[in-house]
Every structure is written in structure tokens, then in C-alpha cells.
Amino acid sequence: MSDMKLDEAQKQVLRDAMLAAGRVIMDVRAAGGDHKFKGDGSPVTLADTRAEVILLKALSEAAPEITVVAEEAAEAGHIPKATRVFFLVDPLDGTKEFIRGGTDFTVNIGLIVDKNPVFGLIYVPATGAFYEGEAGQGAWRRQLDCAVVETCQPKEKTPISVRDADRENLMAVASRSHRAEETNAWLTAHNVKDTVSAGSSLKFCLLAEGKADVYPRHGPTMEWDTAAGHAILSAAGGRVETLDGKTFGYGKYDQTRPYLNPGFIAYGANIRKMF
């Protein structure tokens, strides 16, 4: 790792691991695996834990010197203190969607440097969509399209970017499972009439590829929920701020609940100045 960036070989190890995690997730769903509930009431399945094992192994091989904060490990009590450079891993974001048979669940890896997300990978196992973004390099989408998923790789990358917003026709993306009344009030107050619902970190991806303009989130999230999507959105030309317009940073270890996020607003290219 040079200058706090992953080289191409390291990135490929992580891409391969994302695909492997996605295959395990789909296998578990096909087998009809049960789920249980964590202390905060959120569900967890065998798919979450098996996928995380794959991702952690790949990270230890690709970048053993970098601290990793992963959702299921954290739930089990392994909550390392954030360092200047660290990974955030969510092996299955959108578990409720996964359980109900939907498609909006994702595998996520985000790299944080100096509190900022600088590299992100998001894979959507149910649709084969694969998103990637890196600070200063741009963002891309690839599509998995082959008959035998176990032996294929995503196709050539297609650049993605946020779109120029039309103040009279703004499109918001909001949570399918965690939409707070404060979010509805925010949309009304800012005269945002059109909304598309999506689960998991796909909400960031919709902004990054120019399919929506703003994503307000008033309910709680954890850093591993947002890091990869934030990195991809930023690389695509968007931004994320706290509800009061401050920098949305990472590494919030020294608080009552480590790595808990405040509310935020994710924006496309020029929408922030409209409010």
C-alpha cells in the first residue's frame, strides 16, 4: 500500500472476495436459512456471518497492516479503535430485504483515511451490480452477466456520476425499512415531491449514478452502513453532510456507542446550494 492507496492487486483480492461473499449469501437464501435478532433489534442471518468471514480473510491477505472494523465482529465484542487508516465492513447491508426476498441488499467495504472515505466497493448479489469509487479517480458500475456466477467476473466498468439537479423536479431516495417521520417532514419542507424507495447502501449508488438527487437520513446508522456508499458517491461528484451542514466523518470510536453515525443528508452535484 503506497501513499494510503490500495494497489490494483489488493483491489482485485477484495473484488474477488465480494463476489465470493455474494455467492455465499445467495446460497444461504436458497437454502432458507433462519435469522435471529441482535441486541438492537436488527436481524442477523447465517449469510451475514459467513460473508464476513470471507471478507475478513481477504482483507488480512490484501492489507494485513490495516485495522478492520466489521459489523458482526463488532456485535460479538471485537470493536477495535479506529486508526488513521482503517476498513469498515458490512457483509450484508439490508438484511431485512434479504429475509423478505427482495433484491436491495449489498456487500460493502469502505477504506477510511484521516476520517474520510477514500475507496468503496458495493456488490448487489441479487442483481449482479458492482459499484466502485476512489477519491480522485472517479466511480464506476460493472454488471455481472454470465450463466455460471461461480466462474465469472464483472464486465468492463462504466463510469458513473451524479446528475445536475432540477430544483422543480428533485428526486429523493429514502429508506424502505427505516424511514423516519423526520425524513418525511424534511422532504415536505424542501418541496421534494418525488421519492424512490430503496434498501441498504443502494441509496448512495442511486445518487452516484444520477438516478436521484438527495438522500436524507434522520434515523440511526453505523459507520459500516455508510462508508462504502459515501466513498462511491463522493468519487462520483456528490457529498454527505450532517443534518446541520458539518463534515460527516468516520472513526467515532470514543462515544457511548462506537461508530454510531449522526443523521445526514447525501447530495448530488449541485443540490446542496439549493437549500
Res. 199 pLDDT band, cuts 50 70 90? confident
Res. 181 pLDDT band, cuts 50 70 90? confident
| Cβ(122)–Cβ(209) below 8 Å | no
Q: What's the pLDDT tens digit per position in 25-59?
A: 999 888 876 666 655 656 678 888 999 999 999 99
What pLDDT is attached to residue 38? 54
Q: What's the pLDDT tens digit per position in 238-263?
A: 999 999 999 999 999 999 999 999 99
What secondary structure letter does DSSP report for 164? P
Lowest mean pLDDT among 102-116, 122-136, 260-274: 260-274
CATH number 3.40.190.80 is the correct assignment for the domain at 167-274: yes
What pLDDT is attached to residue 275? 65
Question: Considering only CA atoms, which of 132, 51, 89, 25 is closest in space to residue 259?
Answer: 89
pLDDT at 150 over 80: no
Mean pLDDT in the chain? 89
What pLDDT is attached to residue 148? 47
DSSP string, 233-268: HHHTT-EEEETTS-B------SSSSTTB---EEEE-
16 burial type by CB count under 10 A (0-12 exposed, 13-18 middle, 19+ buried) = middle
When comparing pLDDT for 1 and 117, which is higher? 117
Look up the CATH superfamily of 8-160: Fructose-1,6-Bisphosphatase, subunit A, domain 1 (3.30.540.10)
pLDDT at 198 over 90: no
% of residues, the chain, pLDDT over 70:
87
Half-sphere exposure of 106 (CA within 13 A, CB side): 28
Query: pTM of whole model > 0.85?
Result: yes
What pLDDT is attached to residue 153? 64
When comparing pLDDT for 167 and 18, which is higher? 18
Give the length of the chain: 275
Every domain range in the chain assigned CATH 3.30.540.10:
8-160
Every domain range in the chain assigned CATH 3.40.190.80:
167-274
CA distances from 112 to 57, 88, 202, 236 (A): 19, 8, 19, 17
Q: What's the pLDDT tens digit per position in 56-85?
A: 999 999 999 999 999 999 999 999 999 999
What pLDDT is attached to residue 177? 58
